[in-house]
Amino acid sequence: MKSKADVVIIGGGVNGCSLAYRLAKKGLDVVVVEKRYLSAGATGACGAGIRQQWSTRENAQLAIQSVKIFERLSKQLGQDIEFRQGGYLIAVHDEKEMKQAEKNVAMQRSLGLTVNILEPEEITGVVPILDIKGMRAIGATFCPTDGHANPFKTTFAYADAARKLGAEINTHTTVINVKTAKKTIRAVVTDQGTIQTDVVVNAAGIDSKTIAEMVKVKLPLTPFRKEILATERLQPLFEAMVISFKDGIYFSQQKEGQIVGGIPIPEEKGGYKTMPTFAFLSHMAQTLTRYAPVLKHVNVLRHWTGFYDVTPDARPILGEVKEVKGFIQCSGFSGHGFMISPMVSFLLTELIAEQKTSEVLESLSLDRFKGKNIEKELSVVG
Ligand SMILES: Cc1cc2nc3c(=O)[nH]c(=O)nc-3n(C[C@H](O)[C@H](O)[C@H](O)COP(=O)(O)OP(=O)(O)OC[C@H]3O[C@@H](n4cnc5c(N)ncnc54)[C@H](O)[C@@H]3O)c2cc1C
């Protein structure tokens, strides 16, 4: 392992690897430190949906610009990340939700996004297996350029491209301390040795709170336990991701034919338990077959847990932390960190390599929680 680097990134998930690639492309000497294997955190557990339909302007902007990057990413990285654009269909269940949906759609359209409000009878034109009565929908919104990619292939493609550009990626290496002097980053201490550096990126997912404590920074992060399942492979039935903010359900059909989806468990209160539960299976099966009765004889093959790193406003914490020079935040993704990773790494690369900041980065700084008027992202599942 190197003993010196321009930048040390803690965490080998999609955000850490994507940033390593972009920084290495700018000619910086980058080291990634991952305590387990690449994509061992939330990245490897995720649904990997890519949605541009958000309620806050920043999230919509980040997602829209990220989709533009996803569209050419396989070619850029030289590996197929299985990016597909089947759209996202968001169910709307009552008048209150419809009012919010209309507001969201107006804002999203002002950013140039093609997104439509569907009448109930138009829903099955997009996803034929849905039962409108069962899903209790009075309409839906649909954006045809939303999509999905393979989270493992994306992370490994970034990592391979970063290595080719000279980045060093250390797996099975744990960060145990981050050293500062005069409120400035000096070194990262791992169980395999120490790396001298002026810049540390905290991309450690739910563990980023512990990493921040090493430099006496408090992050308002809460881990939320999530469960998700995959069924056996089926013939192609639909292309869009179906979600409902009210029911919390999301599901899509993968390239190989499995249905992958999740739903929050009503009595779940968060925490670090990793054991999957029967309560989830039962609640998911009941809701999924209410939405799509045709799936009632389908077998579930796999079921696993993962964690959201949730902030009070469901938006990430990005950029340099004012109290510690060189400590860069890249976490708090609150369940949507895969889809915005291309733009997150783009903006953080501008910040680290060119000292360039942006309105979006400023609005997502840790400092925002000192203010009173925090705008909460409303378009979240779970
Ligand atoms: C069930 C589920 C479904 C989801 N669905 C979606 C979706 O459809 N779309 C979407 O955009 N997002 C989704 N997400 C959220 C998404 O997975 C995350 O926001 C994203 O993957 C975060 O990536 P990351 O690189 O920031 O963090 P992670 O992937 O969590 O990576 C952090 C890494 O840091 C490492 N680490 C921690 N501590 C240390 C240490 N001390 N030393 C070294 N390494 C350390 C961990 O091992 C881990 O690999 C979902 C998440 C879950 C759990």
Give the closest residue (by CA) to ligand 1 atom 52: 46
Supply the pLDDT for residue 88: 98
Pocket test for ligand 1, best of 1, 17, 35 (most atoms within 8 A of CB): 35
Location of structure tokens 């999957």: 276
> How far, in Å, is the centroid of ligand 1 from the Cα of 138?
34
With respect to residue 36, please indicate whether it lies within any of the assigned structural domains: yes
Q: Is residue 295 domain-shared with residue 233, that is, in the same domain?
A: yes
With respect to residue 364, please indicate whether it lies within any of the assigned structural domains: yes
Give the closest residue (by CA) to ligand 1 atom 25: 13
With respect to residue 54, please indicate whether it lies within any of the assigned structural domains: no
CATH number for position 266: 3.30.9.10
Supply the pLDDT for residue 379: 84
Q: With a 6 A CB cut-off, is 14 part of the ligand 1 pocket? A: yes
> How far, in Å, is the centroid of ligand 1 from the Cα of 41?
4
List the pLDDT tens digit at each of the 382 positions of the chain. Answer: 999 999 999 999 999 999 999 999 999 999 999 999 999 999 999 999 999 999 999 899 999 999 999 999 999 999 999 999 999 999 999 999 999 999 999 999 999 999 999 999 999 999 999 999 999 999 999 999 999 999 999 999 999 999 999 999 999 999 999 999 999 999 999 999 999 999 999 999 999 999 999 999 999 999 999 999 999 999 999 999 999 999 999 999 998 999 999 999 877 766 678 888 999 999 999 999 999 999 999 999 999 999 999 999 999 999 999 999 999 999 999 999 999 999 999 999 999 999 999 999 999 999 999 977 788 888 888 6
With respect to residue 72, please indicate whether it lies within any of the assigned structural domains: no
Q: Is residue 16 domain-shared with residue 137, that is, in the same domain?
A: no
B/e letters for 186-222, b = 16+ CB within 10 Å, e = fewer, are ebbebeeebbebebbbbbbbbbbbebbebbebebebb
Please, are residues 332 and 316 in contact by the beta-carbon 8 Å criterion?
Answer: yes
With respect to residue 196, please indicate whether it lies within any of the assigned structural domains: yes
Provide the residue range defining the domain that includes 98. 88-144+222-308
The DSSP H or E segment spanning 232 is strand 222-233
Q: Is residue 304 domain-shared with residue 232, that is, in the same domain?
A: yes
Q: Is residue 340 domain-shared with residue 226, that is, in the same domain?
A: no
Query: Distance between CA 208 and CA 203 in Å, rounded?
Result: 7
Query: Distance between CA 4 and CA 269 in Å, rounded?
Result: 42
The gap from C-alpha 281 to its chain's centroid, in whole angstroms, comes to 23
> How far, in Å, is the centroid of ligand 1 from the Cα of 156?
14
Tell me the angle at which helices 14-25 and 151-164 cross, rounded to the nearest 10 degrees. 30
Pairing between strand 7-10 and 116-118? Answer: unpaired
Q: Is residue 364 domain-shared with residue 251, that is, in the same domain?
A: no
> How far, in Å, is the centroid of ligand 1 from the Cα of 42?
3
Q: With a 6 A CB cut-off, is 12 part of the ligand 1 pocket? A: yes
Q: Is residue 232 domain-shared with residue 204, that is, in the same domain?
A: no
Chosen domain end from 272, 293, 308? 308
Contacts of 202 (CB under 8 A, 6+ apart): 10, 11, 208, 211, 212, 327, 328, 329, 330, 331
Give the closest residue (by CA) to ligand 1 atom 4: 46
Query: Distance between CA 293 and CA 213 in Å, rounded?
Result: 48
With respect to residue 156, please indicate whether it lies within any of the assigned structural domains: yes
Q: With a 6 A CB cut-off, is 382 part of the ligand 1 pocket? A: no
Question: What three-state secondary structure class fits 215?
Answer: coil
**Structural domain count of the chain:** 2
With respect to residue 382, please indicate whether it lies within any of the assigned structural domains: no
Chosen domain end from 264, 280, 308? 308
Q: Is residue 139 domain-shared with residue 226, that is, in the same domain?
A: yes
Q: Is residue 318 domain-shared with residue 229, that is, in the same domain?
A: no
Pocket test for ligand 1, best of 245, 334, 338, 364 (most atoms within 8 A of CB): 338
Q: Is residue 265 domain-shared with residue 245, that is, in the same domain?
A: yes
Give the closest residue (by CA) to ligand 1 atom 22: 337
Please, are residues 308 and 320 in contact by the beta-carbon 8 Å criterion?
Answer: no
CATH number for position 194: 3.50.50.60
With respect to residue 345, please indicate whether it lies within any of the assigned structural domains: yes
Query: Distance between CA 348 and CA 346 in Å, rounded?
Result: 6
Chosen domain end from 285, 308, 331? 308
Q: With a 6 A CB cut-off, is 238 part of the ligand 1 pocket? A: no
Q: Is residue 230 domain-shared with residue 302, that is, in the same domain?
A: yes
Q: Is residue 366 domain-shared with residue 230, that is, in the same domain?
A: no
Q: With a 6 A CB cut-off, is 169 part of the ligand 1 pocket? A: no
Shortest-distance atom of ligand 1 to CA 337:
19
Q: Is residue 121 domain-shared with residue 229, that is, in the same domain?
A: yes
